[in-house]
């Protein structure tokens, strides 16, 4: 951020904040509250939650907004409650026809339900819900849905890493779902209803995990406010090293300024590396203290490192984190 004189202004906080989002708040609502509480203008998310959903929201504050793009692709885990016997135009509780009598739910036991879920495990193709923010023909799908426009809905391939049957107490089916980026849990709910022939919708959703970040380590908005008042919030922020799981190239402290300027990395500045990587893998540059300076692409395999490092290109910058 720059002030009216064009000079960069420092952010109060720089780090990753795990937030427990309540039902009824949009992700943007939460971001606005965090900006106000922390007096930090730069706050971004790594994947939104619908207002009707609750749970883990991973936010980037200050300089950490520069690594948001590297976190958005992480797998996510949810607890979902699916209500059988009724359909919803939005596939969740918002689009239910309250005047509908509902459909008869077939007699099916827990073992049969768990078996039915096999078709939703692994790589599957989902049809994007009509009520979604995806752009088609220059317009968001929910806009065309509200105008009752009939258009061909796009499909996308997603991966359901794990789909655990938790409980079934008619009409509610409880599941735990671990999935790839871009998965619509409410589409899974809708498709289960179509498979059973009785309709279904997503009635509750809680995100419990994003990669290795867990909901039990997240803070409520009230807790964040209290920590800020007591000058203790800094201790709850995660740094780059805790968040980025890439292998590392360790460089000497005296080239830190050159890295921040995006200057070419040369072999004389390399101290060593941590972890294995292949040509084309993302790696981080850091100094011995652990401070992460940049993210880039390795142009060598780690096992060829000692034999091939010279003044030729062996690292390409993707993002400098100054």
Which residues are marked as active site? 50
Q: Dihedral of CA 214/215/216/219: which sign? A: positive
Rg (CA), the chain: 23
* Torsion on CA atoms 171, 172, 173, 178, rounded to nearest 10: 150
Question: 317 with 296: CB under 8 angstroms?
Answer: yes
Q: Find the distance separating the first CA and the last CA of the chain, reported in whole Å.
A: 13
Taking the C-alpha atoms of residue 280 and residue 167, their distance in angstroms, rounded to an integer, is: 44
Joined together, the tokens standing for residue 147 give 């105008």
* Torsion on CA atoms 244, 246, 247, 248, rounded to nearest 10: -40
Question: 262 with 299: CB under 8 angstroms?
Answer: no
Taking the C-alpha atoms of residue 87 and residue 129, their distance in angstroms, rounded to an integer, is: 13
Element (H, E) at 243: helix 240-243
The string of DSSP letters for 92-141 reads BGGGB-TT----PPP---HHHHHHHGGGGSEEEEEEPPSSS--EETTEEH
């Amino acid at each position: 951020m720059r002030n009216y004189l064009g000079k960069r202004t420092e952010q109060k906080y720089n780090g990753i904040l795990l937030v427990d989002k309540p039902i009824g708040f949009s992700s943007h609502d939460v971001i606005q509250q965090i900006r106000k509480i922390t007096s930090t203008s730069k706050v971004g998310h790594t994947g939104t939650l619908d207002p009707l959903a609750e749970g883990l929201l991973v936010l980037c504050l200050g300089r950490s907004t520069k690594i948001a793009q590297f976190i958005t692709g992480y797998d996510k885990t949810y607890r979902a409650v699916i209500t059988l016997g009724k359909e919803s135009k939005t596939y969740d509780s918002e689009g239910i026809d309250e005047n509908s009598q509902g459909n008869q739910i077939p007699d099916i036991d827990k073992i049969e339900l768990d078996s039915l879920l096999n078709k939703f495990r692994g790589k599957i193709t989902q049809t994007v819900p009509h009520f979604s923010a995806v752009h088609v023909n220059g317009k968001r799908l929910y806009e065309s849905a509200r105008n009752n426009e009939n258009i061909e809905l796009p499909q996308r391939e997603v991966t359901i890493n794990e789909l655990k049957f938790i409980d079934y107490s008619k009409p509610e089916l409880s599941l735990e779902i671990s999935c790839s980026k871009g998965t619509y849990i409410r589409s899974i709910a809708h498709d289960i209803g179509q498979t059973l022939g009785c309709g279904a919708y997503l009635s509750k959703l809680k995100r419990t995990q994003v990669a290795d970040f867990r909901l039990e380590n997240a803070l409520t908005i009230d807790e964040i406010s209290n920590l800020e008042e007591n000058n203790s919030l800094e201790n709850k922020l995660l740094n780059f090293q805790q968040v980025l799981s890439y292998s590392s190239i360790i460089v000497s402290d005296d080239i830190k300024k050159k890295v921040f300027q995006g200057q070419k990395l040369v072999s004389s500045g390399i101290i060593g590396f941590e972890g294995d990587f292949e040509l084309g893998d993302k790696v981080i540059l850091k100094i011995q203290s652990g401070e992460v300076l940049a993210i880039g692409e390795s142009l060598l395999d780690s096992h060829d490192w000692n034999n091939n490092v010279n003044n030729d290109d062996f690292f390409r910058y993707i993002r400098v984190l100054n």
